[in-house]
Structure 1
Amino acid sequence: MTYYAALQLREIGRSSLSAVKGVNKFLFFGGVVAVGVVSAIFASLALLSEEIFRSSIQSSSYIPFILTPAGLVIVSLLTRRYFPNAKSSGIPQTIAALEMESHQQRSKLLSLRIAAGKVGMSLLALLSGASIGRGVPTVHIGASILYSIGRDTNSSSVELDSRLILAGGAAGLAAAFNAPLAGIVFALEELNRSARHHINNSISTSVILAALLAGVVAIIILGDYHYFGQSEASLNLGSTFNLTTISAVIVCGVMGGAIGGIFASTLIHGTRHITPLLIKHPILVPALCGVVIATAGLLSDNSSFGTGYREAHAFINGSYSDGNLASGFNYSIMKMVATIASFFSGIPGGILTPSLATGAGLGAGFAQWFPAELLPAMVLMGMVGYFAGVVQTPITAFVIVMEITDNQQMLLPLMATAFIAYNISKIFCPKPIYLLLAESFLDSDARDRRDHRKAIKESI
């Protein structure tokens, strides 16, 4: 990736200068470098936080019943008091900011303070055993950093702000997973869903440059690596097992899409009911969520805590066993429960890595119905199917799994799985989860503006 990225940076270097017009070039490049540095440091600290938690519960599986509820209460209260718009993954805030037209509105969702809160509160949540990811929050962090830089320029505009937000989001995801292509695709497929924003050459070039440069910076700090290692899985759709392999793709696509869609729908509808309760009972709700997470951990041999990176890596590389990791289906169920509880507690944290881990477990579970040689391939297809079902970004789903496992030979099966899952998911969750969650921030902003206009009229 390093050599390729360097070549691409040289090729697009000149055109990129015009793509970032309107903002000081050094500020833009400096901001992207900052995103890469922050993402790399965040990744290292997140791994350390998760390991500290796992070490603290070695003596007893019942320690989380005290540590996790207490930790979630503290993180939830701190987030609500000091960083109210740093909660959840941050992608809904980023999408909502793209829809807003004034600095005052956008600054409520994107700022350096929010970025700092995102990092700090996510680390505290991982220290408490919450089932969250650190990859997607870097989208919010990256968007906040670049937007804050653009805001200080005299020539700032809605178009420039949107370009910087998209570029920052792409840079954050690229640096978090050492996956520049996934960062680019995610920014253009997920963050740019709105019909009000149209992809043009300047936006595309800014996004590409930011993702590549942030990825290179992260590599310099962390080294050149593949997030989940290298997978040698393959699936020959033209082999003598044609019907079997095609059936494997269909199962992972249909089941992954259905389960992912149900999971997304649960988060959406649950949030509408839990949020008022969280406001009314700011201590009780996070504490109960912590108890649920601790229970899921107890029932999964402590495997459902944290990001899910270690478990997904084990599934992908075939290094898991019933002795040290729960079976695929059991793990996936407990991981989903823990992730839902973490989400409802009002803490910052993403669902991307937990979703990939859940999907890996589902794929391993589905593989029990097929010949043993299909297991490695079905783990990857399970990841793609479930992730595409949850987020409904099929291209991002197969690109990110292909990139973080360094496996190009599974491209066609992963593509097929992703698009099957995407269409099945829409049956259970008609609108993408991040768009629906973004609406709550837009509705809140609309209420604030109405109240402001009303106050002005009353004062006249």
Structure 2
Amino acid sequence: MHRLTPRRARALLRRHGPEALVWRRRIAILGGAILIGLIALLFARLSDWAGEIFLTIERRCWWAPLLATPLGFAGLVWLTRLLAPAAGGSGIPQIIAASRDPEAAIRTLVSARTVAAKFVLTIGALLFGASVGREGPTVQIAASIMGYAHRAMAIPLRASVYIAGGAAGVAAAFNTPLAGVAFAIEELAAAYEQRMTLLVMAAVLIAGMVSLGLAGDYVYFGVMRETLSLGDALVATPVAGVFGGIAGGLFSRLMLSAGKSTAFAPVLWLRARPVAFAAACGIAVAVLGVATGLTWGTGYRTANAIISGAHVPLWFGAAKFVTTLATAVSGLPGGIFAPSLSVGAGIGDVLRSVFPHYPAGAIVLLGMVAYFTGVVRAPLTAVIIISETTASRGLMLPLLATALIADFAAQLVSKERLYHGLSERFLNRSMSPTVVKSENSGHLGGS
């Protein structure tokens, strides 16, 4: 036994006392995750409010979006470029890029200015009828919160801090803790540190509990109990997987191509004029929205109705595909999770006409998981999100089979994964000069 001297007591206090690194890290995780749950819930409520305001105006003055939406798109992109260029787009590519140089990213990609702009401008996009979701922006906001919580406790920032924050954001946004964990590992984890698994799990659990405690034990799309027999699944899953996967891969390829120098000349001409380009995208969204009355906003209500048995015109999926693509390439802040699930529901509605004697709700979910997988190329995340947001655990195996087939089909259309391809555009904004030089020399390892 060592005698407890004053010097040894001070050493033990530094290592295990309230100011020790392990305790500061626990406080940062707890405080950050609680704040993520609260902010995600507030963001969800304000986003829903913004969508309702737009639909109320659209119902009273059907022609108003033809003026307001293009002007709103142009104004929001101008504000984004003026105030916080890193706030544009989904938010998930920014976190992938931020993990490459976490210390530099807190001043750029996940700075307080960037995420504050992201919060306000995404709500603004929904006020003008943009086909955006709040889930991707929630990931960026949540990662920033976790980063600042660690910085406040004087803890060095690592990639796992942003990954844990982003995963907690997914869990709080959808009320799906398992999906948050899967998303962290499958999509954000190019630099995932296995020894920090507890950080991810704790952040997801705490943020999910905060959201659950305040919003209640709700199921995002409502409970769906239908299942497929083995024979039906063997027939339907390949068809849904190929059809949805190719459609999702096409969305990914078009979105990635829009920002490259190989894009069509008119697109390049407009891309050089971002505010005009945003207005043109707004015109496309407004015209389709006014013509159909179904493609505004997140698409949550339409998707929920389709799952519940309602039918929509067969062209709904294609129309929502176009408005989501136009919104996504315009440069507006906003995500593609919810709109992609809505497009997938439209594809599922088409598949219902192909399989009229199969359980309708189950077929719709196959279309949703196939298209969503094709877009984000994260089959495990897609399956868990669909399963948790519909409580359809009896469909896990058909959903997983469909997602794996869709992932393979999407690769035939787009070799590059969407979020990772988009993250390349943010790398130079987040990296310090030393890291950029190292990256260009091909010597950068996982952070």
TM score, norm. by length of structure 1: 0.86
Does the aligned pair in 1 maintain the 2:233–2:398 contact within 8 Å?
no
Q: CA deviation at 1:36?
A: 0.4
Structure 1 counterpart of 2:151: 151
Does the aligned pair in 2 maintain the 1:308–1:353 contact within 8 Å?
yes
Q: CA deviation at 1:394?
A: 0.5
Structure 2 residue identity aligned to 1:111: S
Cα RMSD over matched residues? 2.2
Does the aligned pair in 2 maintain the 1:111–1:147 contact within 8 Å?
no
Does the aligned pair in 2 maintain the 1:278–1:345 contact within 8 Å?
no
From the superposition, tell whether residues 224 and 58 of structure 1 become closer, same or farther in structure 2 (CA, over 3 Å): same
Q: Does 1:168 align with 2:165?
A: yes
Any idea what SS the aligned residue of 1:99 has?
coil
Q: Does 1:245 align with 2:233?
A: yes
Structure 1 residue identity aligned to 2:392: N
CA distance in 2, matches of 1:231, 1:150: 40
CA distance in 1, matches of 2:229, 2:371: 22
CA distance in 1, matches of 2:329, 2:315: 21
Q: Does 1:292 align with 2:284?
A: yes
Any idea what SS the aligned residue of 1:57 has?
helix
Q: Does 1:182 align with 2:196?
A: no
Structure 2 counterpart of 1:365: 350
Structure 1 regions of 5+ residues with no counterpart?
1-16, 454-460
Report matched runs for 1:207-356 at 5 Å: 207-237=200-230, 242=231, 244-272=232-260, 277=269, 280-300=272-292, 302-318=293-309, 320-321=310-311, 326-327=312-313, 329-356=314-341
Q: Which moved more, 1:275-284 or 1:111-120?
A: 275-284
Structure 1 counterpart of 2:365: 380
Does the aligned pair in 2 maintain the 1:100–1:106 contact within 8 Å?
no
CA distance in 1, matches of 2:27, 2:431: 35
Does the aligned pair in 1 maintain the 2:146–2:161 contact within 8 Å?
yes
Structure 2 regions of 5+ residues with no counterpart?
1-17, 439-447
Does the aligned pair in 1 maintain the 2:106–2:144 contact within 8 Å?
no
Does the aligned pair in 1 maintain the 2:90–2:333 contact within 8 Å?
yes
Does the aligned pair in 2 maintain the 1:335–1:358 contact within 8 Å?
yes
CA deviation digits over 1:260-313, x for unaligned, max 9?
00110000001225896566323311111111001121332x111100100110
Q: CA deviation at 1:151?
A: 2.6
From the superposition, tell whether residues 360 and 145 of structure 1 become closer, same or farther in structure 2 (CA, over 3 Å): same
CA distance in 1, matches of 2:156, 2:303: 42
Structure 2 residue identity aligned to 1:86: A
Structure 1 counterpart of 2:46: 45
From the superposition, tell whether residues 409 and 92 of structure 1 become closer, same or farther in structure 2 (CA, over 3 Å): same
Structure 1 residue identity aligned to 2:225: E
Percentage of identical aligned residues = 37
Structure 2 counterpart of 1:129: 129
Q: CA deviation at 1:187?
A: 0.8
Aligned length in residues: 415
TM score, norm. by length of structure 2: 0.88
Q: CA deviation at 1:206?
A: 1.1
Any idea what SS the aligned residue of 2:135 has?
coil
Structure 2 residue identity aligned to 1:355: S
CA distance in 1, matches of 2:38, 2:326: 31
Structure 2 residue identity aligned to 1:205: L
Does the aligned pair in 1 maintain the 2:175–2:211 contact within 8 Å?
yes
Does the aligned pair in 2 maintain the 1:115–1:145 contact within 8 Å?
no
Structure 1 counterpart of 2:198: 205
Does the aligned pair in 1 maintain the 2:146–2:165 contact within 8 Å?
yes
Structure 1 counterpart of 2:110: 110
From the superposition, tell whether residues 285 and 447 of structure 1 become closer, same or farther in structure 2 (CA, over 3 Å): farther
CA distance in 1, matches of 2:146, 2:108: 15
Structure 2 residue identity aligned to 1:80: R
Q: Does 1:436 align with 2:421?
A: yes
Q: CA deviation at 1:155?
A: 3.8
CA deviation digits over 1:338-363, x for unaligned, max 9?
01111121111011110111001101
Structure 2 residue identity aligned to 1:58: R
For the pair shown, the structure with the greater C-alpha radius of gyration is: 2
CA distance in 2, matches of 1:84, 1:388: 28
Structure 2 counterpart of 1:13: none
Q: CA deviation at 1:208?
A: 1.1
Q: CA deviation at 1:112?
A: 2.1
